[in-house]
Amino acid sequence: MSVRSARSQGDGAVRIAIIGGGVAGLTAAYELAGAGRTRVHLFENGPELGGLASGFKGRESWDWPLEKFYHHLFTNDDAILRLTEEIGAADLLEIHRPSTVMHFQGANYPLDSPARLLRFPHLSLPQKLRMGLVLAYLKYHPRPPWRAFDGLLADQWLARRMGETAYGKLWRPMLEGKFGPHFRAVNLAWFWARVYKRTPRLGYYRGGFQAFADRLGAAARERGVTIETNAPVRAVTTLAQGGFRVESGARAEKEGEFPASHSFDVVLATVSPGLMRRLAPEMPAAYLSKLGALRHMGAVVMTLALDRPLLKDTYWVNVPKAEGLPFLVLVEHTNMIDPGRYGGDHLLYLGDYLEPSHRYFTLPQEDLLAEFLPALPRFNREFRPDWVTGAWLHRAPYAQPVPVRGYAAMIPELRTPLRGLYFASMSQVYPWDRGTNYAVEIGQRAARMILEDSGQR
């Protein structure tokens, strides 16, 4: 039964369920409710909106919540910037020019401009020029060649073009840190996209990304979207008469509350591929197999509150795996955002991408803190553990898709083989890297597709 014929049995409006209240799900809900005859119900598993961009208030003294996983925007993130303007949230956006460095052999080196790259002392001038030319080719190529790059291995291509010494010192350790045992399988299109899209100026929302998510949620509600938090969806099953039943474990079946199951004409799931397989096992084996073939890395992020800055001015420190430190990145958030927003706390992220089976995903917070703290004197010799006044640990088993060679052909279609069931995730924003801008893009793309399929466009 088509979406249109399923709709005809009711009041004429297409009943749409959206699973996931991250930026993609919220964007789709907002777009769907603003066009055509639709009734949209969004289910969010957690207590707040925003997904991986959501924030937490570690202390009552904080005026702003802080992202559980570090976030910022690039100034060419056009999709989210346009949406920010459209929903009346432009007043929240600030633009900063923070310092980014590479940690190499115990020292920090800024490499975010050609002039700074030329001052890097651990490569010869010909090696630096060769590496700079390769990066310039990737960033400024007049016709972005990412489709050809999909069939090339980044590790092999970069080592050959940059030279083994330059690539091996700076870029291979970063690729290895990002993708662990999968780094040699990552394709060049992903690396190209990272270089192509980066800007030195960064955007951040007043009130954090939680403020943006809340504003987007409010805009969706104004259009009539029902948003239910603390509403984990347990299963999506087909109905004999067409459409789907969505089973939610949010609340017991009591008078005046949402029932445990709902009927919809259309379902859009904005969850991980693994969760999608578990939610809708009725999908054909070929599509389920395609979901199962996708690989990903998880994220472990420890946020520390210090009573003084760790670094002078530096916002972001890339930490190559070759340095032997227990994290991949160090971000001193309050070197970009005034610590006064957080009661004077100086906030530091220590993060890593790891396979979901890594012991860091089950290690108690105090044990992980004990592994991280001895590394901090590498960045400031005066550091002492008593500078730390608070710590918060956040983990996400699905955080970074692994784009292997030939990934373009592996991407699952947004339209699943079950008519009326759609799937949109970070694994499908390729060649772009995961991020809120591309969550907006895929949410808008899914919404357009649903409206077209249901005869609303």
pLDDT digits (tens, 9 = 90+) for 156-177: 999 999 999 999 999 999 999 9
Do the domain assignments include residue 147? yes
Do the domain assignments include residue 268? yes
Distances (CA, A) of 109 to 90, 112, 177: 34, 9, 18
Segments in 54-124 forming alpha helices (H):
78-86, 114-118
Residues 246 and 330 in one domain: no
Average pLDDT, the chain: 93
Closest CA to 71 of 273, 275, 211: 211
Higher pLDDT, 112 or 250: 112
pLDDT of 10 > 60? The answer is no
End position of a domain, from candidates 197, 232, 250: 197
The CA-based dihedral angle spanning residues 449, 78, 98, 387, taken in that order and rounded to the nearest 10 degrees: -30
196-212 pLDDT tens trace: 998 999 999 999 999 99
pLDDT of 256 > 70? The answer is no
pLDDT number for residue 346 = 98
CATH number at residue 244: 3.50.50.60
Q: Which two tokens stand for residue 287?
A: 């599509």
CA distance 415 to 421: 7
Q: Which two tokens stand for residue 265?
A: 């004409």
Residues 242 and 379 in one domain: no
pLDDT of 5 > 70? The answer is no
Under 8 Å between Cβ of 305 and 388: yes
CA distance 233 to 330: 35
pLDDT of 322 > 90? The answer is no
Do the domain assignments include residue 60? no
Residues 289 and 410 in one domain: yes
Q: Which two tokens stand for residue 7?
A: 């709709």
CA distance 439 to 99: 26
Residues 124 and 29 in one domain: no
End position of a domain, from candidates 197, 217, 233: 197
Do the domain assignments include residue 66? no
Do the domain assignments include residue 65? no
* Percent of the chain residues topping a pLDDT of 90: 87
Does an H or E element contain 418, and which?
A: none
Residues 388 and 419 in one domain: no
- What is the average per-residue pLDDT within 54-81? 97
Structural domains counted in the chain: 3
pLDDT number for residue 130 = 96
Residues 83 and 118 in one domain: no
Residues 300 and 377 in one domain: yes
pLDDT band at 143 (very low <50, low <70, confident <90, very high): confident
Residues 192 and 217 in one domain: no
Under 8 Å between Cβ of 172 and 155: yes
Distances (CA, A) of 290 to 128, 273, 283, 413: 41, 9, 11, 10
pLDDT number for residue 4 = 41
Distances (CA, A) of 236 to 199, 265, 411, 412, 424: 41, 12, 22, 18, 15
Do the domain assignments include residue 214? yes
Closest CA to 188 of 134, 142, 239, 237: 134
Residues 215 and 188 in one domain: no
* H helix count then E strand count, the chain: 15, 20
Residues 287 and 322 in one domain: no
pLDDT number for residue 9 = 46
Under 8 Å between Cβ of 25 and 42: yes
Residues 307 and 394 in one domain: yes
What crossing angle do the helices spanning 125-140 and 188-197 adopt, rounded to 10°? 90
Sheet-wide strand order for 314-318: 107-109, 99-104, 314-318, 329-332, 346-354, 296-306, 388-401
Closest CA to 241 of 420, 6, 4: 6
Do the domain assignments include residue 103? no
End position of a domain, from candidates 163, 197, 231: 197
Under 8 Å between Cβ of 279 and 336: no
- What is the average per-residue pLDDT within 265-269? 98
Under 8 Å between Cβ of 276 and 423: yes
End-to-end Cα, the chain, rounded Å:
19
- Structural Rg of the chain based on CA atoms: 23
CATH number at residue 165: 1.10.3110
pLDDT of 270 > 90? The answer is yes
Check residue 22 and report its DSSP letter: B
Q: Which two tokens stand for residue 104?
A: 């190499």
- Whose tokens are 């409010």? That residue is 218
Phi, psi values for residue 198, rounded to 5°: -70, 140
Residues 285 and 434 in one domain: yes
Phi, psi values for residue 415, rounded to 5°: -80, 115
User: Quick count: other Cβ atoms within 10 Å of Cβ 434?
Assistant: 18
Do the domain assignments include residue 61? no
Structural domain harbouring 228: 3-55+209-293+406-453
pLDDT of 250 > 60? The answer is no
CA distance 229 to 41: 11
CA distance 395 to 357: 12
CATH number at residue 363: 3.90.660.20
pLDDT band at 11 (very low <50, low <70, confident <90, very high): low
pLDDT of 260 > 90? The answer is no
Lowest mean pLDDT among 9-13, 34-38, 147-151, 231-235: 9-13
Closest CA to 178 of 433, 432, 360, 436: 433
pLDDT band at 285 (very low <50, low <70, confident <90, very high): very high
Query: Going by DSSP bridges, is the β-strand pair 266-269/421-423 parallel, antiparallel, or unpaired?
Result: parallel
pLDDT number for residue 2 = 40
